[in-house]
Amino acid sequence: MEEQKLLQVDDLRVEFRTDEGIVRAVNGVSFDLAAGETLGIVGESGSGKSVTNLAMLGLIPQPPGRISSGTALYRGEDLLTANAKRLSQIRGRHIAMIFQDPMTALNPFLTVEEQLTEVTRLHLGHSHDEAIAHAIKMLEQVGITGAEKRVFDYPHQFSGGMRQRVMIALALSCNPDILIADEPSTALDVTIQAQILDLMKQLQKDHGTAIIMITHDLGVVANICHRVLVMYGGKIVERADVDSLFANPRHPYTLGLLESVPRWDADLSKKLKVVPGQPPDLAHLPAGCSFYPRCSYREVRCEQSVPPAFERPEGGDFACFIDVDSVKPVEERT
């Protein structure tokens, strides 16, 4: 039997009932996560990358949301059918999450000490003094100087980068198995972003935490991730280890995404390649491949049938009928 993965998600589907019809935010997503690895989930707004993770933690408001199928096994236990009490034991203790905007994720009325000690007293049964000592230790670990004083400050007394460090300290204070980071560095300046990514890598080395890194920034993926899922229209369109994904993208969307990012080491004589068109309307997904209307490599069959997952030679898979290496894009066909 295959070794049990830390997290195994199978055929997850999430939909939202709206005035414009049923919005299919996640459409049959399956992936797994091994202990100690960093899995990147890349996609644009509306690709379903955040909803996938919120659904696993029971954070989708139902209604209007609905998890219509799937399992999400954490150490063999299905998170999607776990009751609220069990979920709140897991959240924060075994699976923790950090968000894009640390100011809205921290409670502005409570000091950092109150927020950090609440978690450890609840989950680890720390006494008051133990909890405070632990909170100070965590702040020191994430590089906050003068932690024994700063721990009594309120969130607004910290800068953006420091607040994100507090969030990370909060998320890691029970030494979870999995850290879900939803765009953790997007709101930060580049020099601060570099500090936060380095900090996450260091903490992963020290604690062996598995990280799910949700981001739209391919630079962040290249910096921190081991494996990558590319999502489009609520589906995984390509999965591979980070090196082969960047070196040898197989799905036209991955290819388009990689080519359309301005790089500061790129050849400037060429114009930026674009992915034409607009992201899909999740309330009215096309019958076939959801990338079909924007795809440069499309064929007739792509409009009618949904492409299954094909294996990549170096591991991983991609959901596309076309071999992008042997077919010319539409613009170059004569």
Partner 1 sequence: MSPVATSVSSSTSLNTSLTHPLLEVRNLSVHFPFRRGGLLNAQRGFIRAVDGVSFQVAEGETLGIVGESGCGKSTTARAIVKLVRPTAGEVYLQGERIDHLSDLEMLPHRQNLQMIFQDPFASLNPRMTIGNIITEPMNIFKLYERTQRKLEAMRLMDLVGLNPRFLNRYPHEFSGGQRQRIGIARALAVQPRLIICDEPVSALDVSIQAQVINLLMELQEKLGLAYVFIAHDLAVVRHIAHRVGVMYLGRLVETAPKSALYTNPRHPYTKALLSAAPIPDPVAERERQRIELQGEVPSPEKIYAGCSFADRCPIAEASCRETLPVLQGGAHKVACFKADS
- Work out how close the CB of 274 gets to partner 1 at its nearest, in angstroms, rounded to a whole number: 4
Q: Which of 218, 231, 282, 322 binds partner 1 (CB under 8 A)?
A: 218
Single residue of 10, 32, 44, 118 touching partner 1 by CB under 8 A: 44
Q: How many of the chain's residues bind partner 1 (CB under 8 A)? A: 46
Q: Give the residue with the Cβ less far from partner 1, 119 or 240.
A: 240
**What is the C-alpha to C-alpha distance for residues 117 and 294, in angstroms, rounded to an integer?**
49
Q: Is 4 in the site for partner 1 (CB under 8 A)?
A: no
Are 273 and 288 in contact by the 8 Å Cβ rule? The answer is no
Least CB distance to partner 1 at residue 216 (A): 6
**Burial of 195 from C-beta contacts in 10 A (0-12 / 13-18 / 19+):** middle
- Residue with tokens 């992008």, as numbered in its chain: 324
Q: How does DSSP classify residue 174?
A: T
The CA distance from 325 to 278, in Å, is 24
Q: Which 91-120 positions form the footprint of partner 1 (CB under 8 A)?
A: none
Binding mask 187-206 for partner 1 (x = CB under 8 A): --xxxxxxx-xx--------
Sign of CA dihedral 163, 165, 170, 176: positive
For partner 1, the binding residue among 3, 45, 269, 333 (CB under 8 A) is: 45
Interface positions, 220-279, toward partner 1 (CB under 8 A): 220-223, 242-243, 246-247, 256-258, 260-266, 268, 271-276, 278-279
* 140: nearest Cα among 202, 91, 92: 202
CA atoms within 13 A on the CB side of 94: 15
> How far apart are CB 189 and partner 1 at their closest, in Å?
4
The interaxial angle of helices 160-172 and 112-124, nearest 10 deg, is 10
Please give the residue ranges that form the binding site for partner 1 (CB under 8 A): 44-45, 159-162, 189-195, 197-198, 216-223, 242-243, 246-247, 256-258, 260-266, 268, 271-276, 278-279
